[in-house]
């Protein structure tokens, strides 16, 4: 089990704070990653380490359809986002690019900033090493689970063709 440090945010983290529109004149993933979360947490991009985890409240990723949002978080090294709920376009964008997201109210409420957390993606069980607790997330439908396994929609479609 790999564990990552938690960055914790509130409800309604919108795509404008995840990656502000002023940076959308580029879709270079590495460049976008340097601005991740800048309008809500200016130090995120410099502090985040490979495998760290974002935990937030309700409606994470609300707002625009910009795929730049999950892409910049994934490229910055974030392993996954755990939230009470996700805005629907962010939800499908994340799945489409093979970026794991987990819905779990109990985890979203209980996990605190800097906790060390790991996820078993096969079972959807979230482990909190710091608090020695575990939480069970909503499992994905089989179709979406498969899409995450093959790292997104492009591979899924191409595999189907082949």
Interface residues toward other proteins, by CB under 8 A: 12, 14, 16-17, 20-22, 24-27, 39-40, 58-59, 62-68, 85, 87-89, 92-93, 96-97, 141, 143-144, 152-154, 157-158
Nearest to other proteins of 117, 148 (CB atom) = 148
Nearest to other proteins of 12, 134 (CB atom) = 12
CB of 114 to other proteins, least distance (A): 23
Cα gap 110→57, rounded to integer Å: 11
Nearest to other proteins of 39, 120 (CB atom) = 39
CB of 87 to other proteins, least distance (A): 6
Question: What are the tokens at 104?
Answer: 């779990």
Cβ neighbours of residue 119 closer than 8 Å, sequence gap 6 or more: 53, 79, 80, 82, 100, 102, 125, 126, 127
Cα gap 157→108, rounded to integer Å: 33
Nearest to other proteins of 69, 107 (CB atom) = 69
* The three-state (H, E, C) secondary structure of 123-137, written as one string: CCEEEECCCCEEEEC
């Amino acid at each position: 089990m790999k564990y990552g440090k938690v960055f914790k945010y509130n409800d309604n983290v919108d795509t404008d704070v995840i990656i502000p529109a002023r940076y959308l004149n580029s879709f270079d993933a590495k460049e976008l990653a340097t601005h991740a979360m800048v309008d809500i947490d200016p130090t995120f991009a410099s502090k985040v380490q490979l495998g760290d985890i974002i935990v937030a409240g309700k409606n994470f990723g609300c707002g625009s359809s910009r795929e730049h949002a999950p892409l910049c978080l994934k490229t910055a090294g974030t392993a996954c986002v755990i939230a009470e709920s996700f805005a629907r376009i962010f939800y499908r964008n994340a799945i489409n690019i093979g970026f794991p997201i987990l819905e779990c109210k109990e985890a979203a409420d209980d996990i605190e900033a800097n906790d060390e957390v790991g996820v078993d993606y096969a079972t959807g069980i979230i482990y909190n090493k710091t608090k020695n607790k575990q939480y069970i997330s909503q499992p994905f439908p089989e179709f979406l689970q498969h899409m995450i396994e093959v790292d997104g929609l492009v591979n899924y479609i191409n595999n189907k063709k082949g």
